Structures are given as structure tokens and as C-alpha cells.
A and B are shown apart, each in its own frame.
Chain A
Amino acid sequence: MVVAHPSAMRRGAQLEPRARAAPVIPISGLSKTKWAAGHFNVFPLPLLHVIAAENRFELDQRAWGAHLELAAPADTTTLDVTRRVACLSPEGVHLLLQRLVHADTRAPIRLDTLAAVFAPKLEELELLESWQEELVAPVIAQGGDVAATLSRAAEAFEAFVASASTQNGESIRALLDDPRRASEARRLVAAEIRRRRARDA
């Protein structure tokens, strides 16, 4: 399981050569109450087998968890997008980061504080996912190579969000960094997706 925080695992449109990852293994003796009070080196994934099944992967119905004590850099070239079993929700990302910080430092950081730190990045990743879904899916449906098509689309997205998109010369990324203007960024990205889809139709 990749446990690197969203800002640390990407450089532009591409993944960093290495990202921190932790092994996912069955954890025994874990419960809701015990998790909250201890087991600081474990990040439980209680519904992993359910989510995996939704994504057409078969996993035993066991108490899975990421063993953070064994987290180490992993070569990102070994990550296969077609083998992604599950993906954390934004709240899950915040919980994981909270757990990681606490496991490493014993400093308890509130979830809303972590959410405020990572909000622009998660927003950008959400827009990237929409971009991929709207623009890449039709290409892959016609037989395009998944990894290569996703990579090209990610580069196009990176170029778009980094370039000036408003009359004042602000980029999408700059707008996303301002909570009062993030919605403007989303509208601009949605309009660009529509424009590209119409162009490619």
C-alpha cells in the first residue's frame, strides 16, 4: 500500500521514482476500540475485501491492515495501475497521514488540520481523475494502451493546471489553493474537458 502523502509521490505529471509503501497483511487482535487506543503502527483496512470485490479483485474476508512499521521506499515503476485493488477516500488519506505522523513522532494532529493542509492537492487529484475518466476512457475503449494513454493525459492535465487560465493570468493550481476560488477552478477544468471532448469527437 502506497502511504506517501499526495504531494510527496508526484513530480509534475509523473510519479517520483520512489514512494513510501507499507505491506498490507492480516492483523489479528484488532478492534475499533483497540485501534483507537494503541496499535499505532497499524493502519486498519476493515472493508478492504469489500472494496476489492467492487473492483473485481478477490480477497479473503480477513482483518487486513497496513503495517506502518515496515514502510519503506518502493520503486514506483513496479506499480501497475491495472492491479490497484482499492484507493483511500479523502477521509481515509487524512486518517492514514494522521496515523503515520503519530507513529513516527507521537504528535497527534487533528484531521481537520491535515485536511486543510492537503485540500488543494486532493482537489487537484480529483480533477485529474475526472480528466482521465472523461478523456482517456474513450481512447482505452478503442484499444489504446492504458498506462501510456493515462501518462499522456496526465501530462496534458499538468500543462493545463499550471498554465494561466484566467484573465488575470492565474493558473488552475493557484485558484485551487484559495478555498474561495476553488469552485472557479473546477468550472474551468470542466469547460476544458468539454472542449477537448468536442474537439476529439
Chain B
Amino acid sequence: MSIQLQEGTLAEFIQPNVNPRAGGTKIDFGDPNIVVYGAATAGKSRSINFPVGPLDVYNDLTGFMGAYVPNPDVRRSTGYVGVIPWIDDAYPGKAEARITFVGALEGFKVLPVQVPLFLWHTNVTPVGELAAARRYTTQARVAALHEIQRQLDKEKAAFAQRSIAMVVTELTDQLGMSQLVLARALNVSPTAIRKWRRGEAARPEHRDALASLGAFARVLEHHVHDPAGWIEIPISGQATVTPLDLFEAKRPDLAVLFAAGVSDPDETLTSFVPDWRERFEPDGEYEVVRLKDGSRSAVPRVEGHH
């Protein structure tokens, strides 16, 4: 699906009185797969209230991670707003997106997919654009974390309905999670995990933690091929922290954000603890090597040897 827009004023794309939202207006982009609604207050000012607009976009596009960067300068002067290109790129087949505009429409343009650079930069300095991008990224990150937490809560509720033996079996036998990992994640002994697997009762806080772990694994499945293996691999070569450590520290959302490719390792670990480089530095004295017989051994690091 490719969206080709004509260049022109936003008003040209509006069909009045179609938006189901009160006071809104449907904006027809000429593609039946994309429906965008605008709630316009024509004739009052030429500002766009982005705190409403982008947040509304997040709500309607589940998992939205696009690069819709509002141009702060359009609030103050004639400008341009690119609203469409990411829909097709990030969400092929997405049937509907709703964007709420508050402000005057006259004088604003909907740009074609390929925005000429000279046009985009008409009223924006590179510094202003970067500042806007950063503001927007912060907003988007908050929204993404909120959405991840919602997914985790939903999955956790489903796991909480099952027997503890079923959950343990699902995590170990189907996902391939180690019982040692379960024990570590829940801060219990491996023996406790075995007892639960046999159907023995668990304390409520352990049932709750196990449901959280199940939810964590299920949400990760949307982003990584093998959650059970992935959670044990360090996030960065510069630290020993693994996604499992994030779960243990009650920050599975950061791990999911990383799994989704939204956060890079540095960003993820800095969000976890700012001084991660000092606190979780890899062993600088010894390294694990494989010997000729296939076994592993810890040997002193030799400078320049890898």
C-alpha cells in the first residue's frame, strides 16, 4: 500500500461533518485504507496543539513508534506538518488512524510522501528541529512505556488465572526457560520451583511474581525470537546486566522497549541505573575461554588478546 498525497491546503482534504468525534472533520487522503480525522477550530488561530495531537495518535496506533515530529515553529508561523508517511512504513495494512488537530486549518499544508527538503525546512532551523525531535521522542517514550505496561498487565492477568503448576510447565517446557532462571527471577530456591511444578501451593507474592514473569515472556515473544534465551544475554558488551536483571529490578518495561528496538543498549541501561558502567562493569581481570577439549575455563585477560 502506498499513500500518495497531493500538496495543498489541509482544508482541501476535508469533508465536513463526517468525523464521529464531536466537532471533528474527516480528512480524506484519497486512500480507502487510511482515514484521518481532524477536529478543527477554523478561523481562530493558526496553532496546533501537539500535546493533544501526538498523544491521540499513540492511543490509536498501538505500539506506535513512528517518527512523526511536530514542527514547533508551525505554532508560531506559517509552516508545514507532515502527518502521513510513517503510517504506511510502520503499519502496513493499518486501516485507520485518528489524529486530532486543534487550531486553524487555513494556511497549513499536507505534504506529499516525499517531502522536499527545502519545503520542510522553510520555517525550521536544524537546531529547532532537533529540539522538537527530542521533545517528541520523550513523549513517545512515555507513551510506549505506558503501552508496554498495559500489555504486561493484560498478560499477567491471564497468567494469574492459571494454576501455578501450569504456569511453571508452560515457561519451562514450552518456552524453554530454565528452572534456575525462574528461581532467580522469583528469588526462591530451585527446589521451590520443582515443588510448584508438582502442584504444591505457593505464597501469593510468589504467584504474583510468576504471573509477571509469564507476562514478561509473552510480551517479549512479539519482539524476539526466543525470549527464554534472550533474557539471559547481556544487553551490552560494556555491562553484565541482562534483561532478566531488569525483570528482577521490577523494570521489565525497559527490557521490552529494548527488545522492540526502540531503546539502544546505552539508553536502556542508563534508564535502569545512570552509573551502570561503573556498577556492572564486565570482569577486566579474567575472561572465559574454550579449551581444546571443549570445556570452558577462566583465564587472566591478556592485553590485546581476544
Contact = CB atoms under 8 A, between A and B. Distances in A.
Query: Are these two chains actual partners, yes or no?
Result: yes
Interface of A: 7, 54, 89-90, 109-110, 112-114, 116-118, 120, 122-123, 126, 129-130, 133, 177, 179-187, 190-191, 194
B297 interface: yes
B180 interface: yes
Contacts of A184: 176, 226, 229
A112 B178 contact: no
B177 interface: yes
A117 B291 CA distance: 11
Contacts of A130: 179, 194
Nearest to B198: A133
B228 interface: yes
A113 B180 contact: no
Contacts of B288: 113, 116-117
B190 interface: yes
B189 A89 contact: yes
Contact of B298 (A117, A183, A186): A117
B180 A90 contact: yes
A180 B180 contact: no
| Residue picked from B233, B287, B295, most chain A C-beta under 10 Å | B295
B114 interface: no
A116 B240 CA distance: 11
A12 to B, nearest CB: 15
Contact of A7 (B190, B194, B295): B295
Interface stretch (B9-17, B116-124, B167-175): B167-175
22 contacts: A89-B189, A109-B286, A110-B285, A112-B240, A112-B283, A116-B298, A117-B297, A120-B296, A126-B178, A126-B180, A126-B190, A130-B179, A183-B177, A183-B178, A183-B228, A183-B229, A184-B229, A186-B172, A186-B228, A187-B173, A187-B176, A190-B172
Contacts of A133: 194
Interface residues of B, number: 30
B232 interface: yes
Given A117-B298, A183-B177, 9 more contacts: A118-B296, A123-B178, A177-B294, A179-B232, A179-B233, A183-B229, A187-B176, A190-B173, A191-B173
Contacts of A179: 229, 232-233
B246 to A, nearest CB: 16
B293 to A, nearest CB: 10
Contacts of B232: 179, 182
Interface of B: 172-180, 183, 189-191, 194, 226, 228-229, 232-233, 240, 283, 285-288, 294-298
Given A126-B190, A190-B172, A116 B178 contact: no
Given A90-B190, A183-B228, A114 B180 contact: no
Given A110-B283, A113-B298, A117-B297, A182 B240 contact: no
Contacts of A190: 172-173, 176
A58 to B, nearest CB: 19
A201 B283 CA distance: 49
Nearest to A119: B296
Contacts of A187: 173-176
B298 A114 contact: yes
Interchain residue pairs A-B with the least CB separation, the first 3:
A183-B176, A183-B228, A190-B173
A90 B287 CA distance: 20
Nearest to B190: A89
Nearest to B289: A117
Nearest to A92: B189
Nearest to A187: B176
Given A90-B190, A180-B229, A122 B283 contact: no
Nearest to A191: B173
B179 A126 contact: yes
A60 B225 CA distance: 50
A173 to B, nearest CB: 9
B240 A186 contact: no
